[in-house]
Each structure stands twice: as C-alpha cells, then as structure tokens.
Amino acid sequence: MRLAAGCAVLGLTATLAACGSSDDPKSADGPQKVTMWMMKDSVTDDYLARFRKDFAATHKNIALDVQIQEWDGIGEKITAALASNDAPDVIEVGNTQVAQYAASGGVKDLTDRKADLKGEDWLPGLAQPGNIDGKQFGIPWYAANRVVIYNKDHFAKAGIKEVPRTREQWLADTAKLNKGGNQGIYLPGQTWYALAGFVWDEGGDLAVKDGKSYKGALDTPEALRGMEFYKQLQALGKGPKDSDEAKPNQVDVASKGDVSQYLAVPGNVKLVEEANPALKGKFGFFPIPGKSADKPGASFTGGSDLIIPEASAHQDAAYEVVKALTGEKWQTDMAKTMSYVPNKTSFAKAAAGDEGTAAQAAAAANGRATPNSPQWAAVEATNPIKGYMTAVLTGKDPATEAKKASESMTRTLGS
C-alpha cells in the first residue's frame, strides 16, 4: 500500500491538534482527548461527521480528534509513531500491514477484547491479517474485494439467463461471450490477486509457514492447478500477458464497451460510467465462481484494520472508539455510504440493497488474506508472482517457473 507524510486535518466542528499529538494537558479536568489517524478517502466527510456527533453524545468523557492522513509515506510515519512516546491513540492501517507494525512491538495486543467485539463473527479474510501468532493486534474495520463485473446486454445477447456459479460454467459462458467483436473477459496476465483465489480454491497457498518464517509455495500441485485455470480463463479475452490492470488502465479498456466481464471492486463501475455515460446501468455483479455451486470462489479480502499503539496515553478510551466504529450501527452506515463490506458475516444484510456490495459480501464470506509475514510487503515490491504468470502465459513450463518464483519468495520472506 502507499502511505504519506504530513496530515490534512479534516474541517469539522472540533479544532484538531497538530499531527502526532495524543495527549491533552486539560484532560485531567475534562474529557480525555483521543487522537485517531484515519486515511484519506476511507470514508466521506458526511459519514465522519455523523459518527463524531453520535460518539460525542454517547461518550461525553471522550473528545475525539480525527486527523486525516495521506497514503503516500504513511508507512514510515506510522513506524516512527509506534516507536515514539507521542503516538496517536487509534490508527487505521491496511489489513496486510498489521504484521509489519506488530513486529515492531509497538502495537497493543487486543486478544482479550475479541470476545467483547464478537470476533468469532469477523470475516475470516479480514480478521486473519490482524492475528499474528494467535494474538489479535488489528481489529477488522471494513473489507473490499474483487467481484465479476459483467455487461448485462452482452449476457442477454449470448442467451445467458443466469450468472455462472461454478468455474466450469464460467468458462463455458465466457466462451459464448467471446464473439461478435466482444471479448468474453478482460483479464490482464499479471492479476495476481485473482490467481491467489484460484490457488486457494485448489487447497494451495502463495507461501506457507516454515518454522519461524515462510517459504514460497507456487510450485505445489495445488498452486499449479490454480495457475492452469487462470491460463484457461485469461485466454478467453484480449488482456495483455505482461502487465496488470493498471497498464493499460482497466477503466479505459472497459469503457470502450466491448468487454463482457472484468474483475474489480464494484465502485470501479462508477469510473467506467463516467468515462462512457452510454454504459450507465449496463453492468451487473456476481462473486467469482468457485469449484462447486455451494459457495463462491476464494477471493483476496482487502480493507482496513484499526490498531491501538502501546504508546497511547488513553488506551481504554481508544478502545471505545474502535468498538463504536466496528459495531453494527456504524458498520451498517458505512456499508450504505461507501459500499464496503461490513466486518462481520452477520452484518451482511446491510449490503442487501446494493447489488455490487451484496456480491462483495457473498464473496467475502470465503475471503482470504496474503501470508501473514512482516516481509510480505517486500515480496510485493519485487513481486515474482507477476513474472511467473507472464512466463506461463507465454508458453514456458509452469513447474519450472513456479519453482523459480517460489525460491525468490522464500529468500525474501526469510530475509
């Protein structure tokens, strides 16, 4: 993830303190001031204003100071804050970043709060990254995952009356769509999050625990079967074999109108419709199909967790903020406002009114996360998975290339 230096303070009713300050010298005589770092664009100004007003009314002994942070450079900023004596009280972090921060020793272990938060109901793929060696450091806040976005007109013309629920049917339907100048699916060759889902469905993983570290696992029979399915699906479109959805920009491709299906978070449709208003209302959503119809395919669950630094001066008050943001009232509001998936499976009803969010929620029930290693960020920086995928899609031996990529990952994860 990308993170940023400096903080942009949100212009709400309360006066916000300078970045990084969590202690209020007047707190002994009045409400404790709890400072929260929240990432830019995580929620709308209106949502945050509603939450602040409600929280102030129900927690009169706590003054909430929200400071909005830029993504660019935030990793270094959080790392420095966790090592200081002047940390904020609550920090929003990307769910795959929790292991990195927990390894520093500066994040409070919240395992004893899990029962109070009804953690047994958290989405597995969202809760998993916050749990390090059996200890819960990150509290799941919200989830977002890729679904299949499809052109309803294309499906109707191809005679497809129901969206596919199995991989086998998905391949068959995509082949039907791949006619008349349309491409049945736009799937760039390096969409490694999608590959991860297919690997997980086969019982494999990107990397597995090996003693105290991790080792790459792309060369297992299960992972190789996941890559084989990816190859079959990718061949039914015109996606480039040597790049991901950023090059070319997937929105630009989908907005041309000849793409029958592509993988993205539901909000991506709004950008496509802005680029080509003629496509407004043409798209539908369904979870990535699984191997059988009884459940959707596994999918990478991205999103944010909330952590409390060890250096927080107001840890109990900070917990009240975390508990409120992750509770039913504000999870439901967030699902309706931001089209995010709530953090608990029992909150899925909050997404029922929106087709895209409902598809995300259904997929999130079978969500997974990347390996829970502090070194995983370094793997993503060089990302041998992408090179492996391109090699296989261009005709090289899958087993040989998987072994190379796995060895590269093992070196990085063990560094």
Q: Indicate if the pLDDT at residue 16 is higher than 70.
A: no
Q: Indicate if the pLDDT at residue 105 is higher than 50.
A: yes
Q: Higher model confidence: residue 197 or residue 71?
A: 197
Same domain, 259 and 230: yes
Summary mean pLDDT of the chain = 90
13: pLDDT confidence band, cut at 50, 70 and 90?
very low
Amino acid identity of residue 414, one-letter, is G
Give the integer Cα–Cα distance in Å for 301 and 227: 19
Contacts of 155 (CB under 8 A, 6+ apart): 163, 173, 177, 260, 284
Name the nearest CA neighbour of 345 among 121, 131, 138, 139.
121
The verdict on residue 277 lying in a domain is yes
- Pull the structure tokens for residue 15: 């006066």
User: Exposed (0-12), middle (13-18) or buried (19+): which is 276, by Cβ within 10 Å?
Assistant: middle
Give the integer Cα–Cα distance in Å for 57 and 38: 21
Give the integer Cα–Cα distance in Å for 26 and 260: 60
Q: Higher model confidence: residue 336 or residue 115?
A: 115
Same domain, 258 and 391: yes
Provide mean pLDDT across the span 49-78: 94
What's this model's pTM, rounded to 2 decimal places?
A: 0.75
Same domain, 209 and 226: yes
Three-state secondary-structure class, residue 208? strand
Most confident region among 2-6, 9-13, 26-30, 192-196 by mean pLDDT: 192-196
Number of domains in the chain: 2
Same domain, 26 and 45: yes
Q: Indicate if the pLDDT at residue 24 is higher than 60.
A: no
Q: Indicate if the pLDDT at residue 120 is higher than 70.
A: yes
Q: Do residues 109 and 137 touch, judged by C-beta distance below 8 A?
A: yes
29: pLDDT confidence band, cut at 50, 70 and 90?
low
Q: Indicate if the pLDDT at residue 21 is higher than 70.
A: no
Per residue in 281-332, pLDDT (tens digit) is 999 999 999 999 999 999 998 889 999 999 999 999 999 999 999 999 999 9
The verdict on residue 260 lying in a domain is yes
The verdict on residue 2 lying in a domain is no
248: pLDDT confidence band, cut at 50, 70 and 90?
very high
Same domain, 62 and 43: yes
pLDDT attached to residue 407: 98
The verdict on residue 309 lying in a domain is yes
pLDDT attached to residue 147: 95
The verdict on residue 1 lying in a domain is no
Provide mean pLDDT across the span 373-393: 92
Amino acid identity of residue 105, one-letter, is G
Report percent pLDDT > 90 for the chain: 68
Provide mean pLDDT across the span 406-413: 97
pLDDT attached to residue 3: 32
Domain that holds residue 107: 7-143+302-368
Domain CATH for 103? 3.40.190.10
63: pLDDT confidence band, cut at 50, 70 and 90?
very high
Provide mean pLDDT across the span 147-153: 97
Could you please report the per-residue DSSP string of 78-121? HHHHHTSSS--SEEEEEGGGHHHHHTTT-B---GGGTTTTTGGG
The verdict on residue 191 lying in a domain is yes
Give the integer Cα–Cα distance in Å for 205 and 209: 10
Q: Indicate if the pLDDT at residue 357 is higher than 90.
A: no
For residue 403, how many other CB atoms are within 10 A of its CB?
Answer: 15
Report percent pLDDT > 70 for the chain: 93
pLDDT attached to residue 208: 97
